[in-house]
Structure 1
Amino acid sequence: MLPTRPEFVPDSSQSREEMESMQLDVADAATWDDDFGFEVEAVGLADWAPDDAPLVAGVDQAFLDDRAVSVVVVMRGGRVIERASAVVDLEIPYIPGLLSFREGNPILAAFEELEATPDLVVFDGSGRIHFRQAGLATHLGVVLDVPSIGVAKSLLCGTPREGVDGRPAGWRTEILAGGRVENADSGEVIGHAYQSRQYDNEPIVNPLYVSPGHRVSVPTATDLVARLCGKYKLPEPTRRADSYADEAKSSVES
């Protein structure tokens, strides 16, 4: 799977100002309305999913010294259809808000190894919940022109409409843009805090922060993530990708 918008491929040689300017252009190019060719109800984790059920890819990475081990896991229902990986040198350090310029090209290298064409991609990172509304899921969703969602474990920016602590499974609240989110009204909804799991006899589970990347709306992004969460906190495609990233890293180390 190759980029369809090569002009937006992350360039780590750019200055910080140039990177931030590109992110604003990416956000302008992104679509935050539903624009995909499948029914939301067709997405799920059933092992008996039909052969025409949507292909959902999970993306994650592991790190080895100054290299990224990037992986893509493609699922149809509860079955893994394909896995792909790539090991690529990291060219810049982690800078908050510029993750796609550090990790974007390693992830694109893994997509180049992929034979399947996903109908939806779920990233371990932010989409619209980002200072310039162009997190990893938005940036690479636009580059690949694929419906995409960002699922982050912590809140980069924005403000939850309600407190998030100790909420029951299935609960959600809107994330509102504030002064730190460019080109958005202060009350604009850019994502959700979504409580995928909670247990009576366990320490409190924190929510996920779900936001559209590209070609998916805010409410639909969270609806899709809810359909992809099984017994665990993370959506199954990214949980499988996390596990495969560790496996791929171990094979590189051995």
Structure 2
Amino acid sequence: MSQPRPDLAPDPGLSRAEMETLQRDIADIAVFEDDFAFDPDALSNPLAAAASGDEQPIIVGVDQSFLTNADGEQDRALSAVVATRGGEVIERVHAVTGLEIPYIPGLLSFREGGPILAALEELSVDPELILFDGSGRIHFRQAGIATHMGVVRDVPSIGVAKSLLCGRPREDTDDLPAGSRVAIEANTRVDAPDGTLIGYAVQTRQYDSPNRHINPLYVSSGHRVGSETAAEIVLELATSYKLPEPVRLADTYADEAKREFNQ
């Protein structure tokens, strides 16, 4: 994969102020609306793809794991990338690189973005959509890791986070039924006008029990995918589990690849 905007790649050597300025620049460049060539209905429906005369798109999931040194400190990131087409895995690659800075809320891409870009370089196929385990537009400066990576690669991307970094739900998100979604809007913690739609809480699965419940995923545009379409795609790809399948497969592969280093 090429990098159309290598000048925007995350540099962990920047100061915090410079990192935040770069994120604002990325948010200005990012496209938070649909701008892709594939039919979303073709993601899991080969008949829809055949009707349009196209192959099903290549969807990539990205997740991270971490390796520790002899002192038990996390010093390397293992970035796992799984490419799928029509629900079938067509390629799996990973890369291991050093971690240069600690985790800082809102600056995740400067810690993990370099390892992710290194792993994406290993792919022999060209993704038509990338799903990241992390935020996109639901971010203090509207430039989470899915937005940052999506803009650097200029590839449609979606952020799929397990917790809400910022913003506020427009409705209660407790014990939502499967298939539902609740809009997430900007609040004073987000560099956007108050009330701006920045993503959705998406309930992909739910227990059929009054005593247990599954929390929603927080889905947002990364780049070149609108908020509504992002939510629909995640629901479509969460076939059997809470996570959309490409991200779940990347998570599983990250654990598998990590075991090679722990033997």
Say if 1:213 and 1:61 are closer, same or farther in 2 by CA, change over 3 A: same
Instruction: Please provide the CA RMSD for this pair.
Output: 1.6
Give yes or no for the alignment of 1:94 onto 2:97: no
- Correspondent of 1:193 among 201, 222, 245: 201
- Bigger drift between 221-230 and 91-100 goes to 221-230
What is the match of residue 37 of structure 2? Answer: 37
By how many angstroms is 1:100 displaced? Answer: 0.1
Maintained 8 Å contact 1:45/1:78:
no
What is the match of residue 72 of structure 2? Answer: none
* Partner-residue secondary structure (3-state), 2:56: coil
Q: Work out the CA distance in 2 between the residues paired with 1:31 and 1:49.
A: 25
Q: Work out the CA distance in 2 between the residues paired with 1:44 and 1:240.
A: 16
* Partner-residue secondary structure (3-state), 1:146: coil
Gaps of 5+ in 1: none
Q: Work out the CA distance in 1 between the residues paired with 2:260 and 2:130.
A: 25
* Partner-residue secondary structure (3-state), 1:31: coil
Q: Work out the CA distance in 2 between the residues paired with 1:172 and 1:110.
A: 32
* Partner-residue secondary structure (3-state), 2:212: coil
Give yes or no for the alignment of 1:82 onto 2:82: no
Which whole-Å deviations, capped at 9, do the CAs of 1:110-150 have from their partners, x for residues lacking one?
00100010110000000000000000000000000000000
Q: Work out the CA distance in 2 between the residues paired with 1:153 and 1:142.
A: 22
Give yes or no for the alignment of 1:157 onto 2:166: yes
Q: Work out the CA distance in 2 between the residues paired with 1:49 and 1:249.
A: 36
Q: Work out the CA distance in 2 between the residues paired with 1:173 and 1:99.
A: 25
% identical aligned pairs: 61
What is the match of residue 52 of structure 1? Answer: 55
Maintained 8 Å contact 1:45/1:230:
no
Which whole-Å deviations, capped at 9, do the CAs of 1:58-114 have from their partners, x for residues lacking one?
000110121001011011111001011000000000000000000000000000100
**AA at the equivalent of 1:226:** L
Gaps of 5+ in 2: 69-74
Which whole-Å deviations, capped at 9, do the CAs of 1:13-59 have from their partners, x for residues lacking one?
0000000000000001100111000111011277x986810110000
